[in-house]
Amino acid sequence: MSDRGASAVPQAVEAAERRRIQRFLAQRRGQPWFWVMIGDERIELRDISVDGFAIAAETPPAGGEPFDFVLQREGVPDHIRGRAQAVNFIAASGQAGCRFRALEGDGAERLRDWLIALVIMNASVRISEKDAAAIVEGPSLI
Protein backbone atom coordinates (compact mmCIF):
# COMPACT_ATOMS: atom_id res chain seq x y z
CA MET A 1 0.00 0.00 0.00
CA SER A 2 1.27 3.44 -0.85
CA ASP A 3 2.09 5.87 1.91
CA ARG A 4 0.21 8.54 -0.07
CA GLY A 5 -3.16 7.55 1.33
CA ALA A 6 -5.04 4.99 3.34
CA SER A 7 -6.80 2.17 1.56
CA ALA A 8 -9.07 -0.69 2.44
CA VAL A 9 -7.30 -2.80 -0.19
CA PRO A 10 -4.55 -5.08 1.19
CA GLN A 11 -0.98 -4.32 0.11
CA ALA A 12 -0.42 -7.72 -1.54
CA VAL A 13 -3.54 -7.30 -3.67
CA GLU A 14 -2.55 -3.74 -4.62
CA ALA A 15 0.82 -4.95 -5.91
CA ALA A 16 -0.96 -7.56 -8.03
CA GLU A 17 -2.87 -4.81 -9.87
CA ARG A 18 0.03 -4.09 -12.24
CA ARG A 19 -1.64 -5.15 -15.46
CA ARG A 20 0.35 -7.46 -17.69
CA ILE A 21 -1.95 -6.77 -20.61
CA GLN A 22 -2.57 -3.59 -22.58
CA ARG A 23 -5.06 -1.12 -21.12
CA PHE A 24 -6.90 1.49 -23.14
CA LEU A 25 -8.28 4.92 -22.39
CA ALA A 26 -12.03 4.44 -22.21
CA GLN A 27 -12.69 7.24 -24.66
CA ARG A 28 -13.43 7.78 -28.30
CA ARG A 29 -12.61 11.13 -29.89
CA GLY A 30 -11.90 12.51 -26.42
CA GLN A 31 -15.37 11.64 -25.10
CA PRO A 32 -16.31 8.89 -22.61
CA TRP A 33 -17.16 5.68 -24.46
CA PHE A 34 -17.22 3.08 -21.66
CA TRP A 35 -19.25 3.24 -18.47
CA VAL A 36 -19.83 0.93 -15.53
CA MET A 37 -23.00 0.61 -13.50
CA ILE A 38 -22.29 -0.26 -9.88
CA GLY A 39 -25.59 -0.45 -8.07
CA ASP A 40 -27.60 2.53 -9.34
CA GLU A 41 -24.53 4.64 -10.11
CA ARG A 42 -23.27 5.06 -13.69
CA ILE A 43 -19.53 5.83 -13.62
CA GLU A 44 -17.32 6.83 -16.53
CA LEU A 45 -14.35 4.48 -16.94
CA ARG A 46 -10.85 5.95 -17.01
CA ASP A 47 -9.36 2.90 -18.69
CA ILE A 48 -10.27 -0.67 -19.57
CA SER A 49 -8.57 -3.93 -20.53
CA VAL A 50 -9.50 -7.58 -20.84
CA ASP A 51 -8.46 -7.88 -17.16
CA GLY A 52 -10.39 -4.99 -15.61
CA PHE A 53 -11.00 -1.25 -15.47
CA ALA A 54 -10.19 1.92 -13.55
CA ILE A 55 -12.62 4.57 -12.31
CA ALA A 56 -12.48 7.84 -10.42
CA ALA A 57 -13.36 7.04 -6.81
CA GLU A 58 -13.04 8.59 -3.37
CA THR A 59 -12.99 5.12 -1.81
CA PRO A 60 -12.61 1.60 -3.24
CA PRO A 61 -15.92 0.33 -4.68
CA ALA A 62 -17.76 -1.92 -2.21
CA GLY A 63 -15.05 -1.23 0.36
CA GLY A 64 -12.66 -3.52 -1.53
CA GLU A 65 -15.08 -6.48 -1.52
CA PRO A 66 -16.26 -8.16 -4.77
CA PHE A 67 -19.19 -6.37 -6.42
CA ASP A 68 -21.59 -6.84 -9.34
CA PHE A 69 -21.33 -4.47 -12.29
CA VAL A 70 -22.65 -3.82 -15.79
CA LEU A 71 -20.32 -2.46 -18.49
CA GLN A 72 -21.86 -0.21 -21.12
CA ARG A 73 -20.70 1.52 -24.29
CA GLU A 74 -21.93 4.99 -25.13
CA GLY A 75 -24.90 4.87 -27.49
CA VAL A 76 -24.89 1.07 -27.78
CA PRO A 77 -27.62 -1.09 -26.16
CA ASP A 78 -25.24 -4.04 -25.63
CA HIS A 79 -23.87 -4.57 -22.11
CA ILE A 80 -21.65 -6.98 -20.19
CA ARG A 81 -22.47 -8.16 -16.67
CA GLY A 82 -19.97 -9.49 -14.23
CA ARG A 83 -18.29 -9.34 -10.87
CA ALA A 84 -15.15 -7.35 -10.06
CA GLN A 85 -13.05 -6.32 -7.09
CA ALA A 86 -10.97 -3.22 -6.39
CA VAL A 87 -7.34 -4.31 -6.33
CA ASN A 88 -5.70 -0.90 -6.33
CA PHE A 89 -6.78 2.37 -4.78
CA ILE A 90 -4.80 5.60 -4.94
CA ALA A 91 -6.34 8.23 -2.68
CA ALA A 92 -4.06 11.02 -3.98
CA SER A 93 -5.39 10.69 -7.53
CA GLY A 94 -8.84 9.41 -6.58
CA GLN A 95 -8.61 6.28 -8.70
CA ALA A 96 -9.64 2.69 -8.11
CA GLY A 97 -8.34 -0.14 -10.29
CA CYS A 98 -10.74 -3.09 -10.48
CA ARG A 99 -10.01 -6.59 -11.72
CA PHE A 100 -12.68 -8.79 -13.28
CA ARG A 101 -13.46 -11.84 -11.17
CA ALA A 102 -16.10 -13.14 -13.57
CA LEU A 103 -17.89 -12.08 -16.75
CA GLU A 104 -21.31 -13.60 -17.47
CA GLY A 105 -21.96 -15.74 -20.54
CA ASP A 106 -19.96 -14.65 -23.56
CA GLY A 107 -18.89 -11.42 -21.81
CA ALA A 108 -15.16 -12.06 -22.21
CA GLU A 109 -15.55 -12.54 -25.99
CA ARG A 110 -17.75 -9.46 -26.35
CA LEU A 111 -15.35 -7.35 -24.27
CA ARG A 112 -12.49 -8.46 -26.53
CA ASP A 113 -14.58 -7.43 -29.56
CA TRP A 114 -15.38 -4.06 -27.94
CA LEU A 115 -11.68 -3.41 -27.34
CA ILE A 116 -10.69 -4.46 -30.86
CA ALA A 117 -13.27 -2.01 -32.24
CA LEU A 118 -11.93 0.73 -29.94
CA VAL A 119 -8.35 0.15 -31.16
CA ILE A 120 -9.44 0.26 -34.81
CA MET A 121 -11.55 3.41 -34.34
CA ASN A 122 -8.83 5.26 -32.40
CA ALA A 123 -5.88 4.23 -34.58
CA SER A 124 -4.18 7.12 -36.34
CA VAL A 125 -3.17 4.77 -39.18
CA ARG A 126 -5.12 2.04 -40.94
CA ILE A 127 -5.01 -1.14 -38.82
CA SER A 128 -6.38 -4.61 -39.49
CA GLU A 129 -8.65 -6.49 -37.13
CA LYS A 130 -5.88 -9.07 -36.68
CA ASP A 131 -3.38 -6.37 -35.66
CA ALA A 132 -5.93 -4.76 -33.32
CA ALA A 133 -6.57 -8.17 -31.70
CA ALA A 134 -2.83 -8.63 -31.16
CA ILE A 135 -2.70 -5.25 -29.40
CA VAL A 136 -5.71 -6.08 -27.20
CA GLU A 137 -4.30 -9.45 -26.18
CA GLY A 138 -0.66 -8.42 -26.05
CA PRO A 139 1.52 -7.10 -23.26
CA SER A 140 1.24 -3.57 -21.97
CA LEU A 141 2.94 -1.11 -24.29
CA ILE A 142 3.22 1.53 -21.56
Domains parsed from the chain with CATH numbers: 11-137 (2.40.10.220)
Per-residue pLDDT 10s for the chain (142 aa) are 333 334 344 443 444 445 577 788 888 778 888 999 999 999 999 999 999 999 999 999 998 899 999 999 988 889 999 999 999 999 999 999 999 999 999 999 999 999 999 889 888 889 999 988 888 887 766 5
Apex 31 CA angle, 124 and 24, nearest 5:
55
**Dihedral sign from CA coordinates of 77, 20, 98, 41:** negative
